[in-house]
Amino acid sequence: MLNVPSQSFPAASSQQRVAPAGQSGRNKVALKPGHSLMDWFRVAKSGRDLTGLRGRLIDVTEEELQKHNTRDDCWTCIRGMVYNVSPYMDFHPGGEEELMKAAGIDGTDLFDQVHRWVNYESMLKECLVGRMAVKASTALKEGNEHAVSVHFFVFRYDWFQTDVTVNIVVYTKRKLPSSGCTIVDLQDGVVRVEVLLGKMSYMLRQRKSQLPLIQHSCAVGKIQVSMRKAAKGKWEELGEPLEFHDSLFRKKDRAIFYRECMLVSKTAVTHDTWVFRLQLPLGTLMHVPVGKHIYLKSLIQDSEVVKPYTPVEETLVAATLDSTQGTAATDIFLMIKVYPDGVLTPHLNNLNIGDHLSVSSPDGPFSFRLLREVTHLYLLAAGTGFTPMARVIRLALQDLHSLRKTKLMFFSRQERDILWHSELDGLAAEDERFQVEYILSEPCDEWTGRKGRVEASMLTDFLVRPEGSKVFVCVCGPSAFTELTVGLVREHCFSEEEIHAFQG
């Protein structure tokens, strides 16, 4: 199916949208005086009873939730937790109408379409009513559905080994993706192991662990996490299972998990774009699969700001032909354009080496399996919409054995805005399977390349379909560019299964 969300990412009406200077794009309702985000935080910290339950937390049945569906009595459920959002109505930048869409129902899907990266738990913690009460029969049915989806898990622990190594082994009855599907975090003596398989997420969460190392055996579905004990000798107890231990959920139903990463370097790419290198903390092992994004979270002027970014590699061209997809990375590289009037990027630009940022686990619907047996790969990018394309290009040329041609059409304002210009030119010169064309909307007089903005005539010669080929198109850029370009691609007789629009 065409991977374009029902609403743009962020949605056209989302308060999260930030447009470049000189362009409109932040469409918000007019809030009453005294109803800013900071005003809401003051209300939340005032000690007022925002739930109407005088501090009690209750289990909420589906029938009870449905009763609270009016403007002055509005409950909604997000990821199994129920909130009374009536007190927040006048503070919501998207307006009352948006919140009322989720009145009396599970609003998780509606929330994720527009606000998935927002830390609602922090913003609405004083509005928490309680948990959804799940009927036993429903839980059993959902468990069976999930078991079928992931082909059932079997796991074992070698916790009591007498040497200095402890192993956790997870087996699945399906092959594992080579793009890295396991995330391990060790924080404050708690080990969190999450295995991502398609849309599903399996988690082990236990107290008592030391320094993890991940090993994959993809063909037989085996994941082994090895940890070094603080001291030799047998452990007398297994440790304490914590919330969500041995749990299997849909990935989108898990709350976003963050760890603190350190800025170790910042390298200029263009006059206003940098590659930020973030180092994962000791005890965390994580690989961000191709096409996935992460969220950066930071406290700015007493407000929590969260934004999505797609990692790149350190360079466009791999140093060797050996794939590193199956390994857990220690560093994350983010190519970020700094907007002087931006919400988060000026803060990022002012960070010093050694400062820390909260970084989430990988998220996003893209799977490298979409490119299986593709012979002709077409990429259409505008501005920093190039960032997901960078890793797709690198790994497609490296690992996609069926590939015959990869073509990138790269839209920028001026020549100085082209990201990794020399690296792209170098790759095109070295590998005959790769071709790049630059389109500038504000070229100088000396520019000899194509000029203008994306239009149907530009794509006629670009989107060719040779006989016997299997084609695929990726699109990424500002929302308006993405929506227009996807429509133009479809006009060139590409099916929904042949198009992926990155959210960005």
Say which CATH number the domain at 292 has: 2.40.30.10
Unique residue bearing structure tokens 């990018």 = 381
Identify whether residues 434 and 476 lie together within a single domain: yes
Based on the fold, state whether residues 356 and 385 are members of the same structural domain: no
How do strand 499-501 and strand 311-312 relate by DSSP bridges?
unpaired
Same domain, yes or no: 437 and 423: yes
Tokens representing 328? 């857990």
Residue that wins the pLDDT comparison between 334 and 173: 334
Task: Identify the pLDDT of residue 95.
Answer: 83
Is 228 inside a domain boundary? yes
Query: Which pTM value belongs to this model?
Result: 0.71
Do 480 and 355 belong together in one domain?
no
For residue 424, pLDDT beyond 90: yes
Q: Give residue 248's domain range.
A: 156-253
Average pLDDT over residues 459-463: 94
Report the CATH number at residue 485. Answer: 3.40.50.80
Q: What is the DSSP string of 345-380?
A: HHHHHTPPTT-EEEEEPPB-S--GGGGTT-SEEEEE
Average pLDDT over residues 86-112: 88
- Gyration radius from the chain CA atoms: 24
Do residue 95 and residue 112 come from a single domain? yes
User: 268 versus 24: which is more confidently predicted?
Assistant: 268
Co-location of 373 and 461 in the same domain: yes
Tokens of 482: 């993405």
Number of domains the chain contains:
4
Of 236, 253, 270, the domain-final residue? 253
Q: Are residues 127 and 215 in the same domain?
A: no
Q: Is residue 42 part of a domain?
A: yes
| pLDDT grade for 208, boundaries at 50, 70 and 90 | low
Name every residue whose Cβ is closer than 8 Å to that of residue 235 and which is 6 or more positions away in sequence.
159, 160, 166, 208, 229
CA distances from 38 to 12, 42, 189, 357, 377 (A): 24, 6, 35, 22, 47
Between CA 108 and CA 78 the distance in angstroms is 5
Task: Specify the amino acid at residue 340.
Answer: P
The pLDDT assigned to 368 comes to 85
Residue 31 is assigned to a structural domain of this protein: no
Q: Tell me if 145 is assigned to some domain.
A: no
Residue among 192, 223, 224 nearest 207 (CA): 192
Assess whether pLDDT exceeds 90 at residue 271: yes
Domain boundary among 307, 342, 360: 360
Length of the chain: 504
Asked if the peptide bond before residue 10 counts as cis, ω within 30 degrees of 0, the response is yes
144-172 confidence digits (pLDDT tens)? 333 333 333 444 455 555 556 667 777 66
pLDDT at 146: 37
pLDDT greater at residue 369 or residue 347: 347
Interacting residues of 233 by C-beta distance below 8 A, sequence separation 6+: 162
Last residue of a domain, one of 202, 222, 253: 253
Position 104 pLDDT exceeds 90: yes
Q: Please tell me the predicted confidence (pLDDT) of residue 256.
A: 87
Residue 138 covered by a domain: no
Q: Do residues 485 and 393 both lie within one domain?
A: yes
23 located within any domain? no
82/165 same-domain check: no
- Provide the residue type at 345 as one letter: T
* 5 domain-assigned: no
Q: What is the CATH number of the domain that holds 78?
A: 3.10.120.10
User: Which of the four pLDDT bands, split at 50, 70 and 90, describes residue 141?
Assistant: very low
Residue listed under structure tokens 């040497």: 163
429: in domain: yes
pLDDT at 124: 87
What integer pLDDT is reported at residue 418 of this predicted model?
Answer: 98
Looking at the fold, whether 372 and 497 belong to one and the same domain comes out as yes
Which CA distances in Å does 11 have to 98, 113, 191, 278, 480? 12, 8, 36, 28, 11
- Do 177 and 118 belong to one domain? no
CATH number, domain containing residue 205: 2.60.40.790
| Same structural domain, 451 and 377 | yes
Tokens of 233: 């000798």
Percent of the chain with pLDDT over 70: 78
Q: Which of 390, 361, 360, 400 is nearest to 476 (CA)?
A: 390
